[in-house]
Amino acid sequence: MKLFTIGDSISQAFMSMAAARTDLSYSTLLARKLGLEPETNDYRYPDWPAGGLPINLERIMRTLTQRYGVDISGLEWLTVIQTINGVLDEAEDYYERGVGRADLPYQTPNGLTPNYFHNIAVTGFDVADAWLVTPEVCEQELGLHQRTVPSDGYLQGPSSAFYRTALKVLNPSLKRKYVKYSALDWLKTHAKEEGVENLVLWLGSNNALGTVINLKIQQTPNDPNRRPHTLSHFERSMRGWNLWHPADFEAEYSELLDRVDKIMENNTFDQWKVFIGTVPLVTIAPLAKGVGSSTYIPNYGFYYKYYTWFPFEEEFARETGKHLTMQDALHIDNCIRAYNAFIQQQIAARNAQHGRERYFVVDIAEALNQIAYKRNNSSPTYDFPDVFDYIHPMVNTKYYHADQQGTLKQGGIFGLDGVHPTVIGHGLVAFEFLKVMKDAGIVADTDLPWPEIFAADRLYQEPIPLMHEIYGRDALAQHIVGLIQLFGSRE
């Protein structure tokens, strides 16, 4: 097996709040670069019809545009929520009661049911979920053997989207022999049976992401006698942690690497390599918008007085209390910096133990630091691929916006959930992985099919002319943010 991917929502190509376009993931771009043919036995990944799970914000905004045009006026506002609910109902019907429901095996468009995928990234996975979450855990949460049919809720979308997604990814055939197979169990199986040449391993974002989704910090307790990774998946979930203390993260990530190391040492392919992504600073994601006065922090860049949800300004943050302070943001980022320092140290130490480079760090965190627009005072320092030199409009990390004429005004790297990459953003992630893969001798160059990538990015090619309503109407903005909060709490 030339490429196997374990990760979270980014590796699954979560876009605009939905697991929907794994075909456009950075991982799929890497597979093509390695000469694999995606959607075949070369490199399989799940397809997500009906807009994906749990909700597709781009689908919502395009449906609103189709119905109301470039403005929502007068009495039309009375029907907006009903229109949004109609979009959510499509996904709810498909994944709760239709052919995508949890108790039916996954089927490819040609009617086949695979036993496994090559990309087994799952939306919402934190580090320990790589071994704690199994199809059995998902079935337990979904109550599959209780013969119950979920009710059609209002403004809900598919229930238990995390578990529905994980079940389809980890056991698409629903065969009982795979019911206890975690992501690492699949890695172990492939390593022993056919050999895994290249493993992409990118986890850790969900050990901090909830802080910017909910605008509050619920940190793990740093109890040396009871580290979070020693608890069950459900025990961890009940505690509601959204930021791992660095010591807890180190213990959890060490356990991950110990398990991966043990598996790969029994790999039937001797020249195996593991490419590990670092954890991005979540405060760079435009969902949490910096407002108020800014302060330059040496070596770190510019930070703002408050961080609130993207459509709103300082007055909203101050009056509602819905914000992180600059001190909060620095604390979150410093925790993540500690995570990444530990990852770097661990990889160096493990390579020394192996006597050769087995593990390679892909520093996505540093790349995004350089791309960040506001953190770098509107002057990103990232060295974009040459194709970006004369594109117009240029993309940046601000929250997506387009005018009523359908011209992109800002953004283009993050989708409408303000957290996950667009198609172009995935191209940049793939570019970063290819730099390291080239140095490792896996690929000859870092070239990507950029014209195809840009052409596939509908947010860039067909900007949404109704975006101004989010910025100009607090009611719509709060509905969109509310959906991100509701479904993003388990990302």
Q: Which of 87, 302, 26, 100 lies closest to 79, judged by CA? A: 87
Hey, CA dihedral for 468, 471, 474, 480, is it positive or negative? positive
pLDDT of 255 reads 98
What CA–CA distance (Å, rounded) separates 399 from 81? 23
pLDDT of 480 reads 77
Hey, CA dihedral for 407, 369, 237, 95, is it positive or negative? positive
Alpha helices in 20-160, H assignment, sequence order: 26-33, 57-68, 80-92, 129-132, 135-142
Pairing state between β 301-309 and 324-325: antiparallel
Q: Is 200 strand, coil or helix?
A: strand
**Residue where the block lists tokens 């071994």:** 131
- SS3 for 34-52 is CCCCECCCCECCCCCCCCC
What CA–CA distance (Å, rounded) separates 18 from 36? 25
pLDDT of 446 reads 97
The tokens for 142 are 């979904």
191 strand-pairing partners: none
What CA–CA distance (Å, rounded) separates 374 from 142? 41
Cα–Cα–Cα angle for 58, 64, 67, nearest 5°? 140
pLDDT of 487 reads 61
* Residue pair 143/33 in contact by the 8 Å Cβ criterion: no
Residues 6 or more apart whose Cβ sits within 8 Å of residue 90: 50, 51
Distance of CA 252 to the CA centre of its chain: 20
Phi, psi of 276 (to 5 degrees): -110, 125
Q: What is the pLDDT along the chain (491 residues), one digit of tens a residue?
A: 999 999 999 999 999 888 888 999 999 999 999 999 987 889 999 999 999 998 899 999 999 999 999 988 888 888 988 999 999 999 999 999 999 999 999 988 888 899 999 999 999 999 999 999 999 999 999 986 444 555 555 667 888 999 999 999 999 999 999 999 999 999 999 999 999 999 999 999 999 999 998 899 999 999 999 999 999 999 999 999 999 999 999 999 999 999 999 999 999 999 999 999 999 999 998 888 899 999 999 999 999 999 998 888 888 889 889 999 999 999 999 999 999 999 999 999 999 999 999 999 999 999 999 999 989 988 999 999 999 999 999 999 999 999 999 999 999 999 999 999 999 999 999 999 999 999 999 999 999 999 999 999 999 999 999 998 888 766 677 777 777 766 655 44
CB-side neighbour CA atoms (13 Å) of 190: 25
pLDDT of 478 reads 72
Cα–Cα–Cα angle for 130, 136, 138, nearest 5°? 75
Residues 6 or more apart whose Cβ sits within 8 Å of residue 261: 350
Residue burial 259-270, b: 16+ Cβ < 10 Å; e: rest = bbeebbeebebe
| pTM exceeding 0.85 | yes
The tokens for 181 are 């197979």
* Residue pair 386/395 in contact by the 8 Å Cβ criterion: no
pLDDT of 154 reads 63
What CA–CA distance (Å, rounded) separates 344 from 176? 39
Phi-psi region of 159 (alpha: psi -120 to 50; beta: other; left: phi over 0): beta
Distance of CA 152 to the CA centre of its chain: 27
CA–CA distances in Å: residue 360 to residues 154, 200, 346, 473: 46, 10, 11, 46
Q: Which of 386, 393, 397, 404 lies closest to 460, judged by CA? A: 393
Q: Which of 354, 323, 361, 357 lies closest to 339, judged by CA? A: 361
Radius of gyration of the chain (CA): 22
pLDDT of 151 reads 53
**Amino acid, single-letter form, for residue 248:** D
Q: Which of 256, 270, 252, 254 lies closest to 358, judged by CA? A: 270
pLDDT of 75 reads 84
What CA–CA distance (Å, rounded) separates 15 from 214? 19
Burial of 100 by CB count in 10 Å (0-12 exposed, 13-18 middle, 19+ buried)?
buried
Phi, psi of 82 (to 5 degrees): -60, -40
pLDDT of 72 reads 87
Q: For the chain, how many helices (H) and strands (E)?
A: 18, 12
pLDDT of 111 reads 82
**Residue where the block lists tokens 């160096």:** 348
pLDDT digits (tens, 9 = 90+) for 253-301: 999 999 999 999 999 999 999 999 999 999 998 888 899 999 999 999 9
pLDDT of 147 reads 45
pLDDT of 491 reads 45
pLDDT of 48 reads 93
